Structure 1
Amino acid sequence: MKWFFKILALSLILQSFQFSDTNESPDLITSAQLETKKLEIQNYINSFSCSESGGCNYIAFGSKPCGGPKTFLVFSNSVNLVHLQEMVKNYNEMDNLHNIQTNAISDCSVPLPPTEIKCVNGICTIIN
């Protein structure tokens, strides 16, 4: 009977330990992956020209370690806004994960959104 309790106690102790594979790690986001995504978004935006009548807009871009965007992208209102928002959302999530994975730090300043954007020679341009 003593052996039964010893074996029972040992099995309970062993079950309380959780074994994990130390080789498992989340997919690391690299700077190269971020740069590729950024270029993809910029190329998409640049494939649309603006006109005075069509106008321009902006979107928050990137993720600062302290929170908030790193910058703002300007774009022509002729883009597919839903598609652009999805691309930027995915980039921002990747950038945030990269910040976490690399323990990134920043100055925690908050960039201000553009106050004036104009179409200059078919390109949306921040005036201020």
Structure 2
Amino acid sequence: MKNCLMFCLLVVSFLSVNCSNSDNNQLNNVITPEMLEAKKAEVMTLINNASCNGTCNYIAFGSKPCGGPKEYLLFSSAVNLAQLEDLVAEYNEMEHQFNIQTNAISDCAVVLPPNTIACVDGSCMIIN
């Protein structure tokens, strides 16, 4: 009987610890506007630190609540592409989670990538 009681107490203790940990994990996964701004600043710093050398490209950035990117960022081929892709993927996932947390809505308009981009005076620009 004593062993059974100890076992029950152990199970209850284990379950209560697991519940507490999952609550803490949920709190740790909350995305704030400040976190999004900090990550965006990191992306923009990487892009802005590399002037174009004649070749430019673009990357889908952000996550609309309806799906798809919010915008496209232009960047020079001098940017470390792997690092940029990693940072943008982190930002996009963070914004996706933020949209879920806040029940965000949007116009659901499809944002198209730029047709023509070029390096003009050391900066990547959209050419119409």
Asked if TM exceeds 0.5, the reply is: yes
Deviations along 1:20-58, one digit per CA (max 9) or x if unpaired, are 459543421011110111111111101001122xx1000
CA RMSD of aligned residues (A): 1.9
Partner of 1:4: none
- Mapping 1:10-89, distance limit 5 Å: 20-21=19-20, 24=24, 25-26=26-27, 27-52=29-54, 55-89=55-89
Paired with 1:61 and 1:43, the residues of 2 have a C-alpha distance of 14
Count of residue pairs the alignment pairs up:
111
Paired with 1:58 and 1:81, the residues of 2 have a C-alpha distance of 11
CA contact (8 A) 2:53 2:78 kept: no
Under a length normalisation based on structure 2, what TM-score does the superposition of the two structures give? 0.79
Partner of 1:102: 102
Q: SS of 1:59's equivalent? A: strand
Q: Percent identical across equivalent pairs?
A: 54
Under a length normalisation based on structure 1, what TM-score does the superposition of the two structures give? 0.79
Paired with 2:82 and 2:46, the residues of 1 have a C-alpha distance of 13
Task: Give the aligned residue type for 2:44.
Answer: Q
Q: SS of 2:124's equivalent? A: strand
Partner of 2:90: 90
